Amino acid sequence: MKLEILLTLGGIFHIAFAVFHLLFWKLFQWESQLAKLHPVNKGAMVAMNIVLIAIFLLFAILSLGFQKALLNSNLGYVLIVSIAVIWLLRSIIQIPLFTLKANASKVFFITTLIGSGIYTYIAWALK
């Protein structure tokens, strides 16, 4: 498979995660749920979510708009490996933080492994 196709899929993957995180306020009733937290914890949750959205959009922009640079430079290789590791880490922490008992948790675990797999394959193919 052409690596550009995988980078395009990775870009779409990251856009989907950005949209998912934008929906957190509605999906998880954040207005009422976060109101129960100490203001510092509430602020931290909101700030981390906003930063994650920005990171997902950055990964999407890199994956969709800078494919040649990612595939043909040492810096691109480091970024690809970094994205793969970040998604693998997210997969690993899914287990202790959310368990794999619920079907939604299993789906999310597999989804994050797919994200890692896309970029791991690209990194492997480049070396």
The 10s digit of each residue's pLDDT in 66-87 is: 999 999 999 999 999 999 999 9
Q: Is the pLDDT of residue 53 over 90?
A: yes
Q: pLDDT tier at 17 (50, 70, 90 boundaries)?
A: very high
Q: Say if CB 82 and CB 124 are below 8 A apart.
A: no
Residue 77 makes CB contacts below 8 A (sequence gap 6+) with 70, 123, 126, 127
* Separation between Cα atoms, residue 112 and residue 110, nearest integer Å: 5
Provide the pLDDT for residue 1: 72
